Structure 1
Amino acid sequence: MDSGHVRGLEMDTGHLRDLEMDTGHLGGLDMDSGHLCVLEMDIGHLHALVTDIGHLGGLQMDTGDISGLEVDVGYLGGLEMDICHLCGLQLDIGDLRGLEMDICHLGGLEVDVGDIQGLCHSLEMDVCHLTGSELDVGDI
């Protein structure tokens, strides 16, 4: 999808592979899928993204502003986020592996996970400003 404005997009799929979205504005994206592989999003503004999936592999997000992002997944592998502003991010996942975040401002980050494996060498956060972050984990 290469569009200037996308609003109210809903995807309910069993298997989604190699999705690429290059959009100027994306509002109200709802994805409910069983397997999502290699999702690439290069967008200027992403608002209220909700992903409820079983397996998410190789997610790359290069965005200017992400507001109200919710990720509820069973396995999240190789997530890369290179963003200028991230507000109200919620991660509720069972296993978080290889998360890389290179951001300038992170506000209201909530991470509620049961197990983070290899946090010291797989979770990388390179941030300039981090406000109101909460880590609620059972085992690190």
Structure 2
Amino acid sequence: MVNQAATHLLKRALSWKLIRQIPRFTPNQSDGASTKSKDSHSATTLEGKPVLTLYTKDVCSLCEDAKEVLEPFMHRFNFEQVDIEAPSNKEWWEKYKFEIPVFHLNGKFLMKHKVNTKLLQRKLDELETK
């Protein structure tokens, strides 16, 4: 029983490790990195898919639960995660430290605390019909 649970957790962790974590940069950075801001997302990516951004942190059980709920929708958007604890994400830490998980769709607030599948479905449908 313990081995099954450990195997499940390991598989889950490995599958989510494949999802890219995109750091947010501020214009004041002097390390030459690009300067993405909170409003830098376009309406869609090059593939024509919207971008769903999850604001999270390293240990967040609600975030892990939310990612499982998102799995059936993953083919419909590009998924990004923002670690609000990263030094370059101080503004997100201040805004969302007590609110995660928080989701933005194409750079705009969508939902927080848990995934509202009906809302997500409706918003994705709206974007696909544009």
TM-score scaled to structure 2, two decimals?
Answer: 0.22
Between structure 1 and structure 2, the one with the greater Rg is 2
TM-score by length of 1: 0.21
Q: Which has the higher contact order (CA 8 A, sep 6+)?
A: 2
